[in-house]
A and B are shown apart, each in its own frame.
Chain A
Amino acid sequence: MKPPLYTIRSLVHAYDGGPPVLAIERLSVAAGSILGLVGPNGSGKSTLLKLLAFVEKPTRGEIRFKDRPAAPFSDAVRFQVTLLTQEPYLMRRSVHANVAYGLKLRGRSRDCRPQVAAALSLVGLAAERFADRKWYQLSGGEAQRVSLAARLALQPEALLLDEPTASVDAASAELIKAAVIRARDQWGTTLVIASHDRQWLYEICDDSLHLFRGRILESGADNLLFGPWQPGPSGFWHKPLAGGGVLRVPPPPDDQAVGVLDTRAVSLTAPGAASPQGLNTLDGVVSRLVLEKNTRRIVATISVGLLALTVKLDPERLQALHLYPGKAVRIHFAPQAVAWCDPA
């Protein structure tokens, strides 16, 4: 096993003396791995990426890079780590100057045209068409790809991407995926990628991390169940779902609490199948099937009204159920399988 590139210990980060927005007790990122960050808006993904990029210093705790303490602007990380932000900024220069900027800082600007052209080609932009364009002559998707090219040209040890496919079309998303995989395979780059596009993420990541309210959820905790909750019979609380069905959960800490449901606790059957006593039974429709690259399991997203639940299945189980997007299924899980997040 490769040594970790990053090691985080007792990290807490807050902005301007406010409440903590990120609290991670322990985390390691293996060198040469691709780690996905998932979680709703405001869960701390961008903050974690900024800290890993050493743009900011954590309020408390330590981030070690290659087992050494590192800080913003330190020589240990300045030329090794780079981040592509969610809304990338292009400097008021040509595309060539933007891509060459990082190379110039590293003293590699002499005759860097081939490197710039290669980096642009990785993101599907022809240097002869784009290199001399000004920053304002690019579409949003092109600007995103030029920004990524500027990072790829550096062949960094760690490449951190914040929503890299948020403003690009499907073809560009595929190009970015190919470029990212090539960076890892060719240069051994370690990647940490935050994205809401789970399908895109599952296809390239070795592992994924679920963040919610600045904390890492346990592995498998893919399903978040939001209130409001109402007291119900038998000591359970419930929430009526749009389109019928009722979610039953153990007593929450408050009526707006957020529950976490482990994918491993959810089972699927054919519609109409009998449900064991005491389990939540919900009828839904398969909305998406994605192959998880690392485990070769199938990630199925089931829509139950407005609620989307994720279930992980072995290929054999998928075949047995004859699942395909659009097929009706029945979901079962025990109310006790729902755990409660710490209050915000």
Chain B
Amino acid sequence: MDFLLGGFVTAIQLLLTGDSETYSAVFATVRVSGYSMAASLALGVPGGFFLGHFDFRGKRQVRLVVDTLLALPTVLIGLLVYAFLSQRGPLGEWGLLFTLPGIAIGQTFLALPVVVALTATAVEAMDRHLRTTLITLGVSRTQLLLSILWEGRLGILAAAATAYGRVTTEVGVSMMVGGNIKWLTRTMTTAIALETNKGQFAMGVALGLVLMAIAFVVNFSVFFLRRR
């Protein structure tokens, strides 16, 4: 067990001394997860609202598909996105393979069902009198949408936190689409996987600690916002 303890001590040193390789992976993760979260929230929140608020033909089938996509394996997303972005793929000329935006595209597909499904659940769970109340107070159609989202903000925050947890901890997409290129597309999770394979636990533990810290900050923020 000494090697684990030693790894932990070295990890603290790496973090405190600002080790550039460690922090490169941290920044890559933060950037790529920022892109993917921005895209998945921009698409997923309106999509979830539509799915949760409106009744339309085929709604239950759409809901079933979205719920199924919650369990989409990251390696399958990685495979499909790789196929699309590779030179032989339909989007090959975009040159996004082995780049952070390429990883972000894959992670968006990972986070999108989470955001859509949990936003739809939050909207569905809201009091059925909310819509009537808002209309009778004089909202326009746009204000109705925004006010319902605002009322369901805690559920949407939970959706965002869950999706963020999923994208920051995934390995499959980052490894397959990003290629785990040092200083460029190496994220925290791919770095941990690589370092563990090499028997170098220190950087893996350091990055694990950063992941836990990010998870704590995200959940603390949600907790704080819930209390307000």
Q: B-contacting residues of A (Cβ < 8 Å)?
A: 50, 53-55, 72-73, 78-79, 81-85, 87-89, 91-92, 101-102, 105-106, 147, 150-151, 154, 160
Contacts and interface: CB of A to CB of B under 8 A. Distances in A.
B129 A87 contact: yes
Contacts of A79: 138
> What 7 pairs between A and B have smallest CB-CB spacing?
A89-B129, A83-B136, A102-B137, A89-B133, A105-B138, A78-B138, A82-B136
A87 B141 CA distance: 23
Contacts, number: 55
Contact of B136 (A53, A87, A91): A53
A229 to B, nearest CB: 38
Contacts of B135: 53-55, 72-73
B132 interface: yes
Interface string B135-164: 111111101000100010000000000000
A55 B132 contact: yes
A91 B138 contact: no
Contacts of B127: 89
Given A73-B141, A91-B151, A55 B136 contact: yes
B5 interface: no
Interface range, B side: 10 to 19
Per DSSP, are chain B's interface residues mostly helix, strand or loop, or mixed? helix
A85 B129 contact: yes
B129 A101 contact: no
Contacts of A78: 138-140
22 contacts: A50-B132, A53-B132, A54-B135, A55-B132, A55-B135, A55-B136, A78-B138, A79-B138, A83-B132, A83-B136, A85-B133, A85-B136, A87-B129, A88-B129, A89-B127, A89-B129, A101-B137, A102-B137, A105-B139, A105-B143, A150-B137, A154-B137
B42 interface: no
Contacts of A89: 127, 129-130, 132-133
A88 B133 contact: yes
A278 B27 CA distance: 96
Given A78-B140, A102-B138, A150-B137, A92 B132 contact: no
Given A89-B129, A92-B151, A82 B137 contact: yes
